[in-house]
Amino acid sequence: MKNFLSRILIFISCFIIVVSLSSWGFYVHETATQLAVYNLPNPLRKFFFANIDSLTSNAIRPDKRRNTDKTEAAKHFIDIENYGNGAMLTMPHNLQTAVLKYSLDTLKKYGYVPYQILIEYDSLVNAFKHTNSDSIIFYADDLAHYIEDANVPLHTTNNYDGQLTDQKGLHALWESTIPELELSNYNLLSKHKTTYVKNKEEVVWTALRRAHALLPEMFMKEQEVAENFPDSSKYISKMYYGKMTKVYSNEFAKQYATALSSTINDQLNYCSDMVADFWYSAWVDAGKPKLTQLYKCTNKNSKELRKELRSYKKNNLLEDSLIRANKD
């Protein structure tokens, strides 16, 4: 029995490590996906809102798939340095050309999140064309996840956890610890107006370049803040399901967050806007199919949507206990 329990604990701790090193934490994935729903124009917004609980609760499904599917991991990142000097500017924007240039094995080794986004996008267009509610929600969710990952700077570099610069643990610090600590200070209301994306490839690579450009400052600020922290207060040891793990302390996280100013908040909003644009564009590219037959537009539903939109527009979602990640 003891053996069995320890095996379960090892499995769970492996899962936690995989999830924490693979994308925004569940908290931001869920929140970015939730915000994207509010930014949609109707009739899409009503349809997505009718499915918002499913969308948010499955927001990290692609991370979970990594535990059972070995091909999954490479879909979440791109170690751009491994594709050669200047690859961020010169890599082909389309998958077929990239495979010809680098080989599929290379893409699987160094990651290919930009191409995965476009694959998911095509699947979503197809799901809209077939007006299959379950498929639409499934692919919309997965598409959102990969877009959100592509906007995490550490998903665009081979120094993905600060492991090459003696800053190990930076990944979870930036994308999980800080947003979870600081969300009450974030402005979650986006001024962006959801628009049709004509050149999806270009928009994906613009987002990647934007995220990648944040890296030097991220590494530098960590070093600056660390100057005031001896190791004893910079890190704490935390028990994660039976395994002692060294992580950045909350005190360090708060000072580092201040040093980064609004960077993480901006990336959260930027990726959420991008998700809304891509969902909307997929619906347009599918020929704007009618969605009214796919969900029940009840009074209760409409009332809840109005309430959430009011709260969102005042940036009060957290105070009004409407952040779904807090319930999960």
* Residues near Zn ion (CB under 5 A): 22-23, 63, 76, 149
Spatial contact of 231 and 171, defined as CB atoms under 8 Å apart = no
**CB of residue 73 to Zn ion, shortest distance in Å:** 9
**CB of residue 147 to Zn ion, shortest distance in Å:** 10
Chain residue at closest Cβ approach to Zn ion: 23
Q: Token pair for residue 148?
A: 């959100």
Spatial contact of 140 and 117, defined as CB atoms under 8 Å apart = no
User: Of 149 and 285, which CB lies nearer to Zn ion in the complex structure?
Assistant: 149
User: Of 49 and 77, which CB lies nearer to Zn ion in the complex structure?
Assistant: 77
User: Of 76 and 200, which CB lies nearer to Zn ion in the complex structure?
Assistant: 76
Alpha carbons 109 and 10: distance in angstroms, whole number: 26
Task: Give the residue from 157, 62, 68 showing the smallest Cα distance to 116.
Answer: 62
97 Cβ contact list (under 8 Å, min separation 6): none
**CB of residue 74 to Zn ion, shortest distance in Å:** 11
User: Of 146 and 256, which CB lies nearer to Zn ion in the complex structure?
Assistant: 146
**CB of residue 116 to Zn ion, shortest distance in Å:** 10
69 Cβ contact list (under 8 Å, min separation 6): none
User: Of 119 and 226, which CB lies nearer to Zn ion in the complex structure?
Assistant: 119
**CB of residue 58 to Zn ion, shortest distance in Å:** 13
Spatial contact of 56 and 207, defined as CB atoms under 8 Å apart = no
Residue 236's φ and ψ, nearest 5 degrees, are -130, 160
User: Of 18 and 322, which CB lies nearer to Zn ion in the complex structure?
Assistant: 18
**CB of residue 152 to Zn ion, shortest distance in Å:** 8
My answer on whether omega of the bond before 289 falls inside 30° of 0, hence cis, is no
**CB of residue 77 to Zn ion, shortest distance in Å:** 8
Question: How many Cβ atoms from other residues are within 10 Å of residue 7's Cβ?
Answer: 10
CA distances from 156 to 81, 170, 226, 260 (A): 9, 14, 24, 18
187 Cβ contact list (under 8 Å, min separation 6): 262, 265, 269, 315
User: Of 44 and 60, which CB lies nearer to Zn ion in the complex structure?
Assistant: 60
Alpha carbons 173 and 20: distance in angstroms, whole number: 10
